[in-house]
């Protein structure tokens, strides 16, 4: 028996653009919420952040791939917040929303009466989520926040990259995306509390806070050990061997997590006595002597072809794997079997569909992904304005 999406009936008003805020709306839409995206008349900036662009049936531009990465499942309407008409439209929609998501600069919506204090005063059950670079208070609060800057300020670039190389950011928007995920958790918690108390909430989500939070063990290594972790390339600060290793025809990852796996690795590499040498007998010793051990393992691994060594390690339960480019990711049989890539039907698109990467949430065997593609600018204006759930005319 088919089930309703878990957030069916939840109404979300998205006053956000770029990535962190829209990521929240997309995840909630995947889970069944009705997400209305209010865009400026010129549209979300990322509609133009290409190439590549999705091509329409008539050769028209259906917005950049970047926009489609964070906006599926939503309906779009436009409003100019600078006008009384635009402000009235947003307030009308907010009156019927459960959640508002915005990512304007601190105080940016105050002059329009669309800030958290103003809307929650009028609609106390509203869960209002603000996403900024640095939060609503503190000396950096007025600054604009950008993922790249936050990766630099929040620590990860100091531990990413080769030891002798330049600091390196992640190849995707870590701070933006993780902020979207943490914010979604906060929103759902606030809604749960509202079920119990009847009161909404104001969420203050900062990219910098999130970036520091996801340092995880690296932050704790510093807080406990007193020394800032250094860049180790692909190596792990607390486990050895846990790195990229050269083989005869490329590179592989070997990620031993305990001494038993270490001994099996040495057996596969034809050097079982290496595991018993005092300098390498346990993880503490291997971390201490990582440089010498890594050099020896490089020489040993280079005697094997990639597929042969991966097969041998898998057979004995040593964690190892290839380093796929994104084309190889989507061709991987596990990824195909799990249905991670989804083609959403679209009559407007030349291909008849728009590809998307589904939410990783699988509930009761059903992958949670919105059935609607990302909207064209203002596509659903009439539909939204006439929707009784959002204050449209009542019929019946």
In the predicted model, is pLDDT for residue 97 greater than 90?
Answer: yes
In the predicted model, is pLDDT for residue 394 greater than 90?
Answer: no
Instruction: Identify the band that residue 229 occupies on the pLDDT scale cut at 50, 70 and 90.
Output: very high
In three-state form (DSSP H/G/I as H, E/B as E, the rest C), the secondary structure along the chain is CCCCCCCCCCEEEEECCCCHHHHHHHHHHHCCCEEEEEECCCCCHHHHCCCCEEEECCCCEEEEHHHHCCCCCEEEEECCCCCHHHHHHHHHHHCCCCEEEECCCCCCCHHHCCCHHHHHHHCCCCEEEEEECCCCCCCCCCCCCCHHHHHHHCCHHHHCCCCCCCCCCCCCCHHHHHHHHHHHHHHHHHHHHHHHHCCCEEEEEEHHHHHHHCCCHHHHHHHHHCCCCCCCCCCCCCCCCEEEEEECCEEEEEECCCHHHHHHHHHHCCCHHHHHCHHHCCHHHHHHCHHHHHHHHHHHHCCCCHHHHHHHHHHHCCCEECCCCHHHHHHCHHHHHHCCEEEEECCCECCCEEEEECCCCEECCEECCCCCCCCCCCCCHHHHHCCHHHCCCCCC
Look at residue 268 in the predicted model and tell me its pLDDT: 98
Q: Is the pTM of this model over 0.85?
A: yes
Look at residue 126 in the predicted model and tell me its pLDDT: 98
Look at residue 3 in the predicted model and tell me its pLDDT: 78
In the predicted model, is pLDDT for residue 167 greater than 90?
Answer: yes
Look at residue 2 in the predicted model and tell me its pLDDT: 59
Instruction: Identify the band that residue 25 occupies on the pLDDT scale cut at 50, 70 and 90.
Output: very high
> For residue range 296-324, what is the model confidence (pLDDT) as tens digits?
999 999 999 999 999 999 999 999 999 99
In the predicted model, is pLDDT for residue 1 greater than 60?
Answer: no
Q: Output the average pLDDT for the chain.
A: 96
In the predicted model, is pLDDT for residue 396 greater than 90?
Answer: no
In the predicted model, is pLDDT for residue 20 greater than 60?
Answer: yes
In the predicted model, is pLDDT for residue 213 greater than 70?
Answer: yes
In the predicted model, is pLDDT for residue 135 greater than 50?
Answer: yes
Look at residue 387 in the predicted model and tell me its pLDDT: 97
Catalytic site includes residue 282: no
Q: Average pLDDT, stretch 116-144?
A: 98
Q: Looking at 115, 147, 176, 204, which residue is catalytic?
A: 176
């Amino acid at each position: 028996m088919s089930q309703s999406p878990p957030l069916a009936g939840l109404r979300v008003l998205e006053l956000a653009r770029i990535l962190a805020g829209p990521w929240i709306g997309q995840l909630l839409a995947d889970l069944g919420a009705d997400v209305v995206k209010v865009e400026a008349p010129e549209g979300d900036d990322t509609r133009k952040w290409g190439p590549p662009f999705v091509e329409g049936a008539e050769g028209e531009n259906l917005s950049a791939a970047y926009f489609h990465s964070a906006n599926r499942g939503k309906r779009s309407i436009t409003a100019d917040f600078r006008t009384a008409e635009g402000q009235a439209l947003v307030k009308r929609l907010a009156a019927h929303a459960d959640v508002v998501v915005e990512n304007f600069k601190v105080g940016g919506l105050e002059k329009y009466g669309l800030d958290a204090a103003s809307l929650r005063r009028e609609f106390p059950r509203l869960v209002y989520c603000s996403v900024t670079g640095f939060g609503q208070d503190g000396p950096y609060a007025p600054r604009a926040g950008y993922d790249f800057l936050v990766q630099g300020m929040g620590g990860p670039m100091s531990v990413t990259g080769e030891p002798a190389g330049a600091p390196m950011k992640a190849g995707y928007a870590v701070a933006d995306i993780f902020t979207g995920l943490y914010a979604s958790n906060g929103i759902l918690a606030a809604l749960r509390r509202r079920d119990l108390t009847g009161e909404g909430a104001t969420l203050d989500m900062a990219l910098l806070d999130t970036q520091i939070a996801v340092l995880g063990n690296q932050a704790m290594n510093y807080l406990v050990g007193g020394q800032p972790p250094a860049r180790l390339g692909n190596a792990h600060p607390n486990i050895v061997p846990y790195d990229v290793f050269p083989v005869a025809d490329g590179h592989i990852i070997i990620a031993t997590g305990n001494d038993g796996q270490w001994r099996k690795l040495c057996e596969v590499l034809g050097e079982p006595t290496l595991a018993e040498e005092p300098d390498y007998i346990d993880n503490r010793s291997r971390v201490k002597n990582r440089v010498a051990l890594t050099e020896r393992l490089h020489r040993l691994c280079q005697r094997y072809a990639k597929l042969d060594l991966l097969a041998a390690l898998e057979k004995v339960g040593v964690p190892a794997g290839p380093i796929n480019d994104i084309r190889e990711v989507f061709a991987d049989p596990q990824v195909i079997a799990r249905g991670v890539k989804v083609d959403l039907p679209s009559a407007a698109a030349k291909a008849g569909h728009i590809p998307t990467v589904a939410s990783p949430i699988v509930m009761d065997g059903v992958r949670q992904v919105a059935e609607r593609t990302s909207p064209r600018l203002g596509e659903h204006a009439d539909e939204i304005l006439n929707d009784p759930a959002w204050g449209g005319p009542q019929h019946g």
